[in-house]
Amino acid sequence: MSDHFQLVSQFKPAGDQPTAIKQLEEGLEAGLAHQTLLGATGTGKTFTMANIISDLNRPTIIMAHNKTLAAQLYGEMKEFFPNNAVEYFVSYYDYYQPEAYVVSSDTFIEKDASINEHIEQMRLSATKALLERRDTIIVASVSAIYGLGDPQSYMKMMLLLKVGEKVDQRDMLRRLAEIQYTRNDIDFGRGTYRVRGEVVDIFPAESDTFAVRVEMFDDEIERLSIFDPLTGAIEKHIVRATIYPKTHYVTPRDKILGAIEKIKEELKERRAQLLSVNKLVEEQRVAQRTQYDIEMMTELGYCSGIENYSRYLSGRTPGDPPPTLLDYLPDDALMIIDESHVTVSQIGAMYKGDRSRKENLVEYGFRMPSAMDNRPLRFEEFEAIAPQTIYVSATPGDFELERSAGEVAEQVIRPTGLLDPLIEVRPVGDQVDDLLSEIYKSVEKGERVLVTTLTKRMSEDLTDYLSEHNVKVRYLHSDIDTVERVEIIRDLRAGVFDVLVGINLLREGLDMPEVALVAILDADKEGFLRSARSLIQTIGRAARHLDGRAILYGDKVTKSMAKAIEETERRREIQHAYNIEHGIEPQALIKKITDIMDVGEEAAPKDNLKLIRKESKKVLSAKEIAVQIKQLETKMHAYASDLEFEKAGSVRDEIHELQQQLIN
């Protein structure tokens, strides 16, 4: 463990990276709250971020707008900082159906969710790293603005163990139960403990690779050890250990009892209010549901949907913002918002969507009004709590530019010397036939092609047409889940097929150096999908190829097209001038084709992964992967029980591979 970031890379900042790094670092040290990094596609924005983090040595949260991009950033940061704490914090639901009430059909939909245990462990690991280390980078999705357990309650519930400390074993086991660990002497897994005489083994909730052994002599802790829960091998002896709660929502008993009294008061007021307007069904409904929850909390310390009472559990007043991951950040933390032109608007939209659903639940007696305070942050609350921020985008939005007040660091030079794509505008009339001939030329040269259309129907028809003309083509649409999407992109890069057709799924965060041609059909139809920002982002998909070019099909040049063409040509001129001045010959970018799903983990031995590699060719749903993991875990424990540790280790590697798929 180190207090300092150690950036590991064979490269040094090049092109205009040093200028951008210096400008942003000076701004941060001068106390600027908002800055923007305008970085063209392929200019090494992630490497610039890594250098800033390393130089300033401050805990950092990087926010991305979806799990795929977050996984890609997580993998890259793990490679840059192998000796530091790089953590991953995204939604832990594989499947989530929030409770809702449909008025028109008088239908109440119960909350239904499937939690991904591996991501839950990574979330717990992320908050632990923030509380224990300064050399921490958290890569997060917008889940970071959703309510999380109160940091003060969470820290208050930690169990601290020290060699030589006097402690009654029964007291220690009671404390473990309070932080929601369960005793299981047979199936020893995450968030459980087992007792063998005077030895207590604890499997921390935030770990998937080690457990803690507490050896006692009478009422004194004689020895603490870290051991491998699979083989039982002792890895090292330690002087002290901190056991973190199994969930972020754990609350001290006295707080729960205090909250129950306040819940009862609100229930009394709410029932009177509903009766006064003759809402008898709603009054009965809210009384029945809330009284059941109160009984559960009194007996067990928690209930299903306990987050709806978070206002009382964290001691907030009505309307106060909920505690979130941002509350766990230290005062001098740094925030980087990647692809900010999308992520910022997504942060703003979360609160409105959540509120409209909750209003129905409250109005019809399924929840009490205090449930409205179990919500994501409002945008102004997010801004108030956010630390110093750098917005990163190839096309920053008006909000970022306005907040940065001119503090924009531009990064348009690629270290490889590659120029922005050449752009041609061609008529719409024969766009499909013209595109087909361009595809034939590109495929002959071993290049890949991206095609964007305006509608799902057109994408489907175009895919069928190209397929009939012997083009190896795939269609990327919104119904395809994250895992399959990553598989498709990998297959395109590997040459399994040559052309990828889509609508607006081909813009941000996709790294495909083999793509030489981007074709934008109906580019002259003004709108969201053909705005200047969308066009620049889409054109940028060909910027990593030596012969990158873009064809815009349109009968007229719209304002958006003109702006996109002008910006691309401006960047080309700057890049070309820099290459001439420094004698740089543009070089093709050769990037290893790996699976984003590996997210920075070391590859397991190939022999161990034969089965799983074979399986990964067949795209599995999240549910199928979860079932497969459960089956493999049973197999692993059986091998371990029979002392066949090599086989158990091999199965564990397969489980890790599947868990990386579930991360996405």
pLDDT for the residue 612:
37
State whether 41 and 172 are in the same domain. no
Residue ranges of the alpha helices (H) in 427-494?
Answer: 431-444, 456-468, 482-494
Residue 110 has pLDDT above 90, yes or no: no
* Residue range of the domain that includes 557: 422-582
Where is average pLDDT lowest: 217-226, 469-478, 504-513? 504-513
In a domain, 627, yes or no: yes
Residue 506 has pLDDT above 60, yes or no: no
Helix (H, G, I), strand (E, B) or coil at 365: coil
123 touches 89 (CB < 8 A): yes
Distance, CA of 624 to CA of 629 (rounded, Å): 9
Residue 253 has pLDDT above 60, yes or no: yes
Where is average pLDDT lowest: 158-162, 339-343, 532-536, 631-635? 631-635
Cβ-proximal residues to 108 (8 Å cutoff; 6+ apart), any chain: 99, 100, 101, 102, 366
In a domain, 1, yes or no: no
Q: What is the average per-residue pLDDT within 561-584?
A: 94
State whether 607 and 652 are in the same domain. yes
In a domain, 257, yes or no: no
Pairing of strands 388-393, 334-338: parallel
**Element at 641 (helix H, strand E):** helix 622-641
**Element at 658 (helix H, strand E):** helix 645-663
Distance, CA of 11 to CA of 237 (rounded, Å): 38
* DSSP label at residue 603: P
State whether 122 and 219 are in the same domain. no
Which residue in this structure is represented by tokens 């269609």?
475
- Candidates 326, 332, 39, 41; CA nearest to 49 is 39
In a domain, 253, yes or no: no
Which residue in this structure is represented by tokens 């009384």?
287
Q: How far apart, in Å, are the Cα atoms of 505 and each of 190, 219, 450, 500, 663?
A: 37, 61, 11, 11, 20
In a domain, 154, yes or no: no
pLDDT for the residue 388:
96
Structure tokens that stand for 273 in this block: 């209010």
Structure tokens that stand for 551 in this block: 């064809």
State whether 449 and 524 are in the same domain. yes
Q: What is the average per-residue pLDDT within 421-431?
A: 93
State whether 396 and 440 are in the same domain. no
* 472 alpha carbon, distance to own chain's centre: 32
Distance, CA of 291 to CA of 1 (rounded, Å): 48
Would you say how long the chain is, in residues? 664
pLDDT for the residue 9:
92
Helix (H, G, I), strand (E, B) or coil at 509: coil
Residue 420 has pLDDT above 60, yes or no: yes
State whether 284 and 164 are in the same domain. no
Instruction: Report pLDDT digits (tens) over 113-139.
Output: 556 677 888 899 999 999 999 999 999
Provide the pLDDT confidence category of residue 449 given band limits of 50, 70 and 90.
Answer: very high
Q: What is the CATH number of the domain that holds 396?
A: 3.40.50.300
* 288 alpha carbon, distance to own chain's centre: 37
Provide the pLDDT confidence category of residue 203 given band limits of 50, 70 and 90.
Answer: very high
Residue 423 has pLDDT above 60, yes or no: yes
Helix (H, G, I), strand (E, B) or coil at 44: coil
* DSSP code string of 219-235: TEEEEEEEE-TTT--EE
State whether 181 and 206 are in the same domain. yes
Instruction: Report pLDDT digits (tens) over 629-664.
Output: 878 877 777 776 666 666 777 787 788 777 776 665
Structure tokens that stand for 42 in this block: 């392929």
Q: What is the CATH number of the domain that holds 224?
A: 3.30.2060.10
State whether 515 and 480 are in the same domain. yes
Structure tokens that stand for 2 in this block: 């180190």
pLDDT for the residue 621:
65
Instruction: Report pLDDT digits (tens) over 576-613.
Output: 999 999 999 998 876 666 554 444 444 333 343 333 33
Please state the φ and ψ torsions of residue 226, each to the nearest 5 degrees: -100, 130
Q: What is the average per-residue pLDDT within 213-232?
A: 93
Provide the pLDDT confidence category of residue 259 given band limits of 50, 70 and 90.
Answer: very high
Distance, CA of 510 to CA of 450 (rounded, Å): 12
Distance, CA of 487 to CA of 269 (rounded, Å): 54
In a domain, 589, yes or no: no
Pairing of strands 159-162, 182-183: unpaired
In a domain, 69, yes or no: yes
* DSSP label at residue 304: T
State whether 93 and 234 are in the same domain. no
State whether 236 and 117 are in the same domain. no
Q: SS3 string of 68-129? A: HHHHHHHHHHHHHCCCCEEEEECCCEEEEECCEEECCCCEEECCEEEECHHHHHHHHHHHHH
* Beta strands in 485-540, from DSSP E residues, in sequence order: 499-502, 515-520
64 touches 343 (CB < 8 A): yes
Which residue in this structure is represented by tokens 């719409």?
428
Where is average pLDDT lowest: 156-170, 311-325, 562-576, 635-649? 635-649
pLDDT for the residue 299:
87
Cβ-proximal residues to 542 (8 Å cutoff; 6+ apart), any chain: 421, 450, 515, 516, 517, 518, 548, 549, 550
Q: Is 284 exposed, middle or buried (0-12, 13-18, 19+ CB in 10 A)?
A: middle
In a domain, 249, yes or no: no
Distance, CA of 314 to CA of 151 (rounded, Å): 9
Where is average pLDDT lowest: 28-32, 175-179, 462-466, 525-529? 525-529
Q: End of a domain among 392, 411, 430?
A: 411
pLDDT for the residue 121:
86
Mean pLDDT of the chain: 86
95 DSSP β-pair partners: 114
State whether 426 and 572 are in the same domain. yes
pTM reported for the whole predicted model: 0.80
State whether 428 and 570 are in the same domain. yes
User: How many domains does the structure of the chain reveal?
Assistant: 5
Q: End of a domain among 530, 554, 582?
A: 582
Provide the pLDDT confidence category of residue 562 given band limits of 50, 70 and 90.
Answer: very high
Q: What is the average per-residue pLDDT within 444-456?
A: 92
Distance, CA of 425 to CA of 549 (rounded, Å): 11
